[in-house]
Amino acid sequence: MPRPRRAYVPLGERQELVSLSLRERVGVRAPFLAKRHVARPHPRPLSRRERGEIQAPLALALTFVVLGLAVAFHRASDEKSAPPLLDGNARWWKGNLHTHSLWSDGDDFPEMIAAWYRRHKYHFLSLTDHNVLSEGQRWIDAAPRAKAIAKYVDRFGPNWVERRSVLDKEKTKDQVRLKPLTEFRTVLEESGKFLLVPGEEITHKYGKFPVHINGINLRDVVLPVDGPSVTEVSRVHLRAVESQAKKTGWTNLAFINHPNYGWGFRVEDLLPLDELRYFEVFNGHPEVKNYGDKIRPSMERIWDIMLAVRLQRGQPPVFGVATDDAHNYHETSAKKANPGRGWIQVRSPHLTPESLLKAMKTGDFYGSSGVALEDLKADEQGLKLKIAGVEGVRYKTQFIVTRADTPLDAKPRMDDKGLSISGEYHEAIGTIAAEAEGLEPAYRFKGDELYVRARVISDCLHPNPYQKGDVEMAWTQPNVRKSAK
Ligand SMILES: [Zn+2]
Ligand SMILES: [Zn+2]
């Protein structure tokens, strides 16, 4: 069923932080209901004696009835407003796993950012600042942040915002405290509605090549460590996240961020990473070069090469994540790293970090820059989608495959300065095997594919795109053909 076209809500729109929950509202109504029943006038005036004899038991009986009704009513409403724990049915949850705040180089307070995502109907968010978890004591200078602080006070109130004056070189300067996640999460989270997941962008480099990896649902910060190559620097951080899961018992995951940023990763740096399970196929930061250039492959091309090589080796696939990598919350422009460009939809029963991340580990999620799916079925037969269509928008779905007999050898390549870049691979890697219009595209395996994945392209321009002219899209995970596993 087509839904009405969504309106784009600009940055800075204000809305009530947390509305009174249904449970709280019911809690106010129940005693009122009881009072109204007890106070109902009697049909015939009774003598004082009669009242003494009759009214007491009657009032008592009425009180029991009313109390019973109130309890039943309260319980029924309570169950309706309770978090979805009882049915256990999986549903889609929308979230972003790459965001920056003033804890590193983002330009807004973490509460303001979380409020933006909550207001824009996200269900979960991970604030992933560079080499830091949002924890410990931190004060920042107020002077360069006057605009952000004014909005912060306006939104959360002067009692929430903590200020101090300190003596610095015999002058006083004003500071504002950055609140840690443990202090602000309860103000923004709501069971079954909005969840904050602790995260970090483990930020390092090898030589001049950036190596950025997001760790999601971390208990402890992972400090960057040197290594002898881009591959080894990545490996040590992927392993650090995994060993933390073993130590803490927390379900976590790690993904490689924006491989083309600073041309940090060649395909050949990614291929030896047996530990790799996820990478960013789309990142909304304007400098990350999602689409490659004339001589370097795009994120999707890198993905197909990784899938072809890994699956032929008998290794598990790599899943693609779409994120914002938002840094800028005050000015909306294609030149700024704004929120709202890329996200994932995860299908899991519960809105908890464990439930979401476990679903991601099985590949039950997709990346999006605007297109939503109602259903997604990946089985031995192939891949079936049901697009949540928006009225007036047309959709084209491309099914991308690599066949088992595709040659995997690559010709080495250099850039114009003689630096090694990603090799040239066979063009049959990641070919469009079929295209379908409409809301229910499907692909049936022919029998020689290693995998199939779908890319849904709408004709709706993104309201605040990564690159001018970008349309809203979605990317499913690869469905690996059974005998190819
Ligand atoms: Zn980064
Ligand atoms: Zn980042």
Summarize pLDDT for 317-357 with one digit per residue, the tens. Answer: 999 999 999 999 999 999 999 999 999 999 999 999 999 99
Query: How far, in Å, is the centroid of ligand 1 from the Cα of 255?
Result: 11
φ, ψ at 14 (rounded to 5°): -100, 145
Residue 200 structural domain: 91-135+181-484
Fill in the DSSP letter of residue 67. Answer: H
User: Sheet holding 373-378: strands in order across?
Assistant: 373-378, 382-387, 442-444
Instruction: List, for residues 259-310, the tens digit of each pLDDT value.
Output: 999 999 999 999 999 999 999 999 999 999 999 999 999 999 999 999 999 9
The CA distance from 179 to 176, in Å, is: 9
Domain membership of residue 349 (yes or no) is yes
Query: How far, in Å, is the centroid of ligand 1 from the Cα of 405?
Result: 36
Instruction: List, for residues 374-384, the tens digit of each pLDDT value.
Output: 999 999 999 99
Per DSSP, the three-state class of 387 is: strand
Residues within 5 Å of ion ligand 1, judged at the Cβ atom: 212, 257
Query: How far, in Å, is the centroid of ligand 1 from the Cα of 144?
Result: 24
Domain membership of residue 55 (yes or no) is no
Total domain count, the chain: 3
Question: Residue 80 — very low, low, confident or very high, per pLDDT cuts 50/70/90?
Answer: low
Instruction: List, for residues 144-158, the tens digit of each pLDDT value.
Output: 999 999 999 999 999
Query: How far, in Å, is the centroid of ligand 2 from the Cα of 53?
Result: 76
> What pLDDT is stored for residue 56 in this prediction?
53
**Largest pairwise CA distance in the chain:** 108
Question: Residue 40 — very low, low, confident or very high, per pLDDT cuts 50/70/90?
Answer: very low
Fill in the DSSP letter of residue 59. Answer: H
Question: Residue 88 — very low, low, confident or very high, per pLDDT cuts 50/70/90?
Answer: confident
Domain membership of residue 46 (yes or no) is no
pTM, two decimal places: 0.83
Alpha helices in 343-398 (DSSP H): 353-361
Query: How far, in Å, is the centroid of ligand 1 from the Cα of 343?
Result: 16
Alpha helices in 290-388 (DSSP H): 299-313, 353-361
- What's the mean pLDDT in 189-216? 97
Length of the chain: 485
| Ligand number, closest to the Cα atom of 213 | 1
| Ligand number, closest to the Cα atom of 100 | 2
My answer on whether 105 and 19 are in the same domain is: no
Query: How far, in Å, is the centroid of ligand 2 from the Cα of 324?
Result: 8
Query: How far, in Å, is the centroid of ligand 2 from the Cα of 257?
Result: 8
Q: 440 pLDDT exceeds 90?
A: yes
My answer on whether 368 and 284 are in the same domain is: yes
| Ligand number, closest to the Cα atom of 284 | 2
Per-residue CA distances from 370 to 295, 340, 357 (Å): 29, 9, 22
Domain membership of residue 66 (yes or no) is no
The CA distance from 169 to 211, in Å, is: 38
Q: Which of 396, 376, 391 is nearest to 473 (CA)?
A: 396
Query: How far, in Å, is the centroid of ligand 1 from the Cα of 257?
Result: 6
Kindly provide the b/e burial profile for residues 333-354, where b requires at least 16 CB atoms within 10 angstroms of the residue's own CB: eeebbbbbbbbbbbbbbbbbbe
My answer on whether 28 and 119 are in the same domain is: no
My answer on whether 241 and 128 are in the same domain is: yes
> What pLDDT is stored for residue 434 in this prediction?
98
Percent of the chain residues topping a pLDDT of 70: 82
| Ligand number, closest to the Cα atom of 200 | 2
Query: How far, in Å, is the centroid of ligand 1 from the Cα of 384?
Result: 33
Sequence letter at residue 219: R
Query: How far, in Å, is the centroid of ligand 2 from the Cα of 250?
Result: 23
Query: How far, in Å, is the centroid of ligand 1 from the Cα of 13?
Result: 27
Q: Indicate the pairing of strand 442-444 with strand 431-437.
A: unpaired
My answer on whether 253 and 315 are in the same domain is: yes
Query: How far, in Å, is the centroid of ligand 2 from the Cα of 326?
Result: 7
Query: How far, in Å, is the centroid of ligand 1 from the Cα of 371?
Result: 25
- Are 440 and 450 in contact by the 8 Å Cβ rule? The answer is no
Q: 474 pLDDT exceeds 80?
A: yes
My answer on whether 120 and 26 are in the same domain is: no
Instruction: List, for residues 418-430, the tens digit of each pLDDT value.
Output: 999 999 999 999 9
Domain membership of residue 58 (yes or no) is no
